[in-house]
Structure 1
Amino acid sequence: MTVMNQPSLGTDGHRFGVLFVFTAGVLWSTVGLGIRLIEDAVVWQILLYRSASLSLLLYVFIRMRSGESPFAQIRRTGFPAVIAGLSLVAAYSGGIYAIQATSVANAMLLFATAPFMAAVLGWVVLREPVRPATWVAIAVAIAGIAIMVADKSGGVALKGSLAALGSAFGFAVFTVALRWGKSGEMLPSVFLSGLFGIIVT
């Protein structure tokens, strides 16, 4: 009976994973509006307050959920948690700057390249197979990026586009780090990213 139930559990887990990823995309798409409504703060000010509130909230949540310090969980997980935390700082700071420097539409479309970057990184670092259809999608996405960035050949707009790509790369590294450290608890890596953000700012 247990063996027969395993496929359905796996299917349910996959469905929840897809739902969570879709929800994260929807929520992330609101970031542009929020940042544009902030008129007087620069990238590092936004990142500082965001990192401080994120770390505080997650520290309380992790303590309540697990009964132990997130630092203890980070020590057990090791290097993947550190890589994940650092990559999120790059993703956050690049994302904030991109939205301030270029149009929200342009930034969000470039952020959407993160899954393609993650697929390539997963193939290179984790040796995870990539389907032929995914390679085709990656090629089409690269062509689209080239067209989008081509008309922003100078000034702040180009820097914003490059920052958006850097942010997407940060999220891709974070995704691969999560897969790398999947045997441990990886939520504390997000808490750690907040601490790194505070130190950087």
Structure 2
Amino acid sequence: MRHQLAFTILIVAATLSSFNGIFIRWLADMTDWQIVFWRHFLIGVTLCFGLIFYYRSNFIGALKAIGYTGLVGSTAFGLSLIFLTMALHHSSIANVMFILALVPIMTALLGWIILREKIQKITWIAIVGSIIGISLMVLGYLNSGNIKGTALSLGCAITVSFFAIILRWGRKINMIPMFAIGTLIAAVIAFPFSFNDLTLNRPQITLLFFWAGLISPLYYSLFVVASRHIPAAELMLAVPLESILSVLLAWIVLAEIPSANSLLGGTIVILSVSCMAIYRIRQKQKIPEN
């Protein structure tokens, strides 16, 4: 696959995933646990059907092939989905997505702690910039009393970063079975908190099937395809892109305008991560010349 096509696929995946906050707002009459259960149950089932179609009789073997390392990664991914849904349900889309832009920074820190990976100077600079940005955002949250959404967003960023470390640890693990198992883990955890009222009306069913049965499995699959043909440095650009698109969509579709603290802090975080990613891309491009 050509690099340009793979990068286009990555942009499409990031664009589709940026609608998550919009769908959660449209399902505001459901509880957070109901959304967690139904969304991830439907995604898990859809991905499993896709795996059955692809692997046929070797479907169970494909699930087993991820091993214990993959199971740990799936659990981290499942927890991140719960944190994300809860955060978007209890905070503004901009606040959540700006904090999630920290994922590449947190992944670098976890890689340094767990995998003993060396952190470049540009990454340390990005870390300092991100700390400044997050501090401005947290200050705004403390003044508004909305600290719950901040904590949930940070929980999502940490678990996603841990999932990324697991992927580095087990480089040959197929991500699609991990996504399928992770979403079903999220649904299982949510079930005890939502089984008292699992009934849905027609608009809810329509939205959930479109979002969880089509859009979400599609962008998970597109991300996996793109990740096989794009260097890690370029993959990082999907994070600030998704954050920016999510904030723009929230503003255009829902008229959600971020606070001054959130906008300033989030901009600093996104610039820090983007500059780090662009620097690494240019660094990779220079290697063949040496």
TM-score range, shorter chain: 0.7 to 0.9
Instruction: Give CA-to-partner distance per residue, 1:109-142, whole Å, 9 cap, x none.
Output: 0111111111111222233333211221122112
Match status 1:66 vs 2:55: yes
**What runs of 5+ residues in structure 2 fail to find an aligned partner?**
191-290
> What letter is aligned with 1:153?
L
* TM-score for the superposition, normalised by structure 1: 0.83
Question: Relative to structure 1, is the Cα distance of residues 134 and 99 closer, same or farther in structure 2, using a 3 angstrom cutoff?
Answer: same
* Partner of residue 67, structure 2: 78
Q: Give unpaired runs (5+ residues) of structure 1.
A: 1-8
Do 2:70 and 2:173's aligned partners in 1 also have CA atoms closer than 8 Å?
no
Report if aligned partners of 1:115, 1:172 keep a CA contact under 8 Å in 2.
yes
Number of residue pairs matched by the alignment: 190
**How well do the aligned residues superpose, as a CA RMSD in angstroms?**
2.3
109-118 or 60-69, larger mean C-alpha shift: 60-69
1:143 to 118, 132, 152: 132
38-47 or 68-77, which deviates more: 68-77
1:181 corresponds in structure 2 to 170
Cα 1:45–1:155 shift into 2, 3 Å = farther
Structural mapping, 1:104-115, within 5 Å: 104-115=93-104
Identity %: 26
Cα pair 1:85 1:174 within 8 Å, conserved: yes
Instruction: Give the stretch that moved more between structures: 28-37 or 122-131.
Output: 122-131
Q: Pick from 26, 34, 51: which aligns with 2:23?
A: 34
TM-score when normalising by structure 2: 0.59
What secondary structure does 1:153 align onto?
Answer: helix
Q: Secondary structure at the match of 1:93?
A: helix
Change (3 A) 1:101 1:81: same
Moved more, 53-62 or 63-72: 63-72
> Would the aligned equivalents of 1:85 and 1:193 in 2 still touch at CA under 8 Å?
yes
Q: Distance between the aligned counterparts of 2:42 and 2:156, measured in 1?
A: 21
